[in-house]
Structure 1
Amino acid sequence: MEEIKVSPDYNWFRSTVSLKRIIVDDDDSKVWSLYDAGPKSIRCPIILLPPVSGTAEVFFQQVLALSGWGYRVISLQYPVYWDLLEFCDGFRKLLDHLQLDKVHLFGASLGGFLAQKFAERTHKSPRVHSLILCNAFSDTSVFNQTWTANSFWLMPGFMLKKIVLGNFARGPVDPKMADAIDFMVDRLESLSQSELASRLTLNCRNSYVEPHKIKDVAVTIIDVFDQSALSYEAKEEMYKLYPEARRAHLKTGGNFPYLSRSAEVNLYIQIHLRQFHGTRYAAIDPAMVSAEEQEVQKAWRTDGRDGDTEEDQWASALDPSQP
């Protein structure tokens, strides 16, 4: 159970990237916790939003890898918010505090849903330049718990944890997936009753994404085929909502591929972000991008090419089923 917690990478992350706590609401009990790594000169970083059971630490592999490649990456842990509009307002205030006009969002499960809702909420004055949705959903009804959503705040912590654990993979899994599950269980144990109850409320209260409001946002969908908590129907609905989205498929990895298949997920994130190199929305230090690559990216944007770009070929190399 301690494999990830005692790993050199995790220990290096904890010793080199400082945890910051920021209050942006009038209620000083609402504290955003975040890790901010990479060049602070980047004004359009990628921000990582965790699932119900996650904390900011669950993306430590992404923080280490992406910042090492020259990207600015911020991993968040949200305060207690019981309402989607309240969350979106708090997140907007956080971006204002960090002086970030637009950002790229990577969201896992609930984090992906919140990322979509924030993009939708701010569509008249866009704050989201692109989305990477990992095992994400667009309609809370997929969990069949909308009728209990308003009672989560009453439940004791052990009952809430039992609800969350019921969605974790069962049966035999490979060692990396087992380590990922154990690490997420440890992170789940660190959450208070109010943190967990509020997240489950956001996760299950009746709500859905209105894709027409974010049709101009570039989207990549990362899905895992094996032992995911999401149903096939939920995944298909995501594809219907975002027909132009790039699809990144992992054959294995479970619910937490950013831990169990971090190298593949990091590569897909890099592929997604490369389309913005050389623009004001680049999440990477320009010094880390070769002049040749910048010229290629500029040519693709100028020509408006939708064919097999280098990113598409790279993705196909990872997944032969990629079109």
Structure 2
Amino acid sequence: MSCASELSRSHEYQSFRSSVPLRKIVVDSDGMKGWKVYDSSPKTIKCPIICLAPVSGTADIYFKQILSLSAKGYRIISAEPPVYWNVKEWCDGFKKLLDYMELDRVHLFGASLGGFLAQKFAEVNAHCPRVVSLILCNTFTDTSVFSYNDSAVVFWILPSLVLKKMVMGNFETEKVDNEMIDAIDFMVERLESLSQPELASRLTINCVRCYVQPQKICHLPITIMDVFDEYALSNDVREEMYKCYPNAKLAHLKSGGNFPYLSRSAEVNLHLQVMNNINYKTNSKQRNNVYAKMH
């Protein structure tokens, strides 16, 4: 991958790549489907935060969360799936990944498609809970909000260039600051690195008609994280999230665009600490200090 963006060349990203190894974990019986995983901090922590990326994301997009929160004693895992063509395949594969890593309980942080899949995994496994909490960033509960529901079945034969243009159309480039520009450039690089099957399969899951049954998971601690400036999803989608989870905690960011975990990482990281209630090394006095900083 050509490192042209500011974030790719940054000392922070280079430090991440040199200190946190990328693992490939094969979970299927034929030895073909491998998850790409960055895993930080003590492996003795058996209830980590697992970060799930949007359509265009690779496992390294959460490097700011991994570096910052692992330094505070949290275990953060960023997991990038292999090619799966439907939600059931993805959920089965993710369950196998958790089994392989010996993780019985997890907190899930997902952005866009990653947030949708986090909800579906919690729903599918509601009978045998493994999800402790959900933090859902700029995400949705129903794929019918997208324009490509009817054509999604042919994504598998479309050229990469066509698929990438579909995704790029959602990257807002107006009314953005330098941090948001850097985030967009970084995500464009990640999009360019994806193979045709990787991108086609993610877009297929993203657009084939499917919805979350919130009544099955609304008992979980859920945080809805969204931005108040422009991003790919409409206000109607945002409002539907609020209706589905009326008891959810709300983590509003004034700005940040489609990728606030990159462009507003400090704010996102604070919300991950406080809202997810995973205070491995944080006493009550420290928690109060974090709340004070947030407000």
**Counterpart in 2 of 1:200?**
203
The alignment's TM-score, normalised by the length of structure 1, stands at 0.87
**Counterpart in 2 of 1:53?**
56
- Per the TM alignment, residue 212 of structure 1 is displaced from its structure 2 partner at its CA by 1.0
**Counterpart in 2 of 1:230?**
233
Q: Which moved more, 1:133-142 or 1:19-28?
A: 19-28
Q: SS at 1:21's partner residue?
A: strand
- The yes-or-no answer on 1:165 pairing with 2:168 is yes
Deviations 1:228-249 (A, max 9, x none): 1010000000000111100011
- The yes-or-no answer on 1:105 pairing with 2:105 is no
Given candidates 136, 141, 149, the residue that maps to 1:138 is 141
- The yes-or-no answer on 1:9 pairing with 2:12 is yes
- Per the TM alignment, residue 154 of structure 1 is displaced from its structure 2 partner at its CA by 0.9
Deviations 1:4-40 (A, max 9, x none): 0110100000000000000011232211001000111
Written as runs of structure 1 = structure 2, the 5 A alignment for 1:93-132 is 93-132=96-135
Contact 2:173/2:181, CA 8 A, preserved across alignment: no
Contact 1:10/1:60, CA 8 A, preserved across alignment: yes
Unpaired runs of at least 5, structure 2 = none
Contact 2:228/2:255, CA 8 A, preserved across alignment: yes
**Counterpart in 2 of 1:84?**
87
Q: SS at 1:4's partner residue?
A: helix
The alignment's TM-score, normalised by the length of structure 2, stands at 0.95
- Per the TM alignment, residue 312 of structure 1 is displaced from its structure 2 partner at its CA by 10
- Per the TM alignment, residue 144 of structure 1 is displaced from its structure 2 partner at its CA by 2.4
**Counterpart in 2 of 1:68?**
71
**Counterpart in 2 of 1:264?**
267
**Counterpart in 1 of 2:46?**
43
Q: SS at 2:8's partner residue?
A: coil
Deviations 1:186-219 (A, max 9, x none): 0000000000000000100100100111122100
Instruction: Supply the distance in 2 between the matched residues of 1:312 and 1:33 (Cα, whole angstroms).
Output: 32
Instruction: Supply the distance in 1 between the matched residues of 2:289 and 2:151 (Cα, whole angstroms).
Output: 43
Q: SS at 2:134's partner residue?
A: strand
Relative distance call for 1:315 and 1:221 in structure 2 (3 A) is: farther
Contact 1:248/1:315, CA 8 A, preserved across alignment: no
Q: What percent of counterpart residues are identical? A: 58
Given candidates 146, 156, 159, the residue that maps to 1:153 is 156
Q: SS at 1:289's partner residue?
A: coil
Whichever residue aligns with residue 251 of structure 1, its letter is: K
**Counterpart in 1 of 2:255?**
252
- Per the TM alignment, residue 145 of structure 1 is displaced from its structure 2 partner at its CA by 1.5
Q: Which runs of 4+ in 1 moved over 4 A?
A: 310-316
Contact 1:271/1:311, CA 8 A, preserved across alignment: no
Deviations 1:244-267 (A, max 9, x none): 100011111100000000000001
Q: Which moved more, 1:184-193 or 1:143-152?
A: 143-152
Q: How many residues align?
A: 292
- Per the TM alignment, residue 66 of structure 1 is displaced from its structure 2 partner at its CA by 0.7
Q: Which moved more, 1:187-196 or 1:19-28?
A: 19-28
Deviations 1:164-188 (A, max 9, x none): 0001003242111000000000000
Contact 1:50/1:77, CA 8 A, preserved across alignment: yes
**Counterpart in 1 of 2:282?**
289
Deviations 1:153-172 (A, max 9, x none): 01010000000000100324
- The yes-or-no answer on 1:242 pairing with 2:245 is yes
Q: Which moved more, 1:5-14 or 1:23-32?
A: 23-32
Instruction: Supply the distance in 2 between the matched residues of 1:266 and 1:228 (Cα, whole angstroms).
Output: 20
Whichever residue aligns with residue 289 of structure 1, its letter is: T
Whichever residue aligns with residue 282 of structure 2, its letter is: V
Whichever residue aligns with residue 252 of structure 1, its letter is: S
Instruction: Supply the distance in 1 between the matched residues of 2:107 and 2:289 (Cα, whole angstroms).
Output: 18
Unpaired runs of at least 5, structure 1 = 278-283, 298-309, 318-323
Contact 2:113/2:139, CA 8 A, preserved across alignment: yes
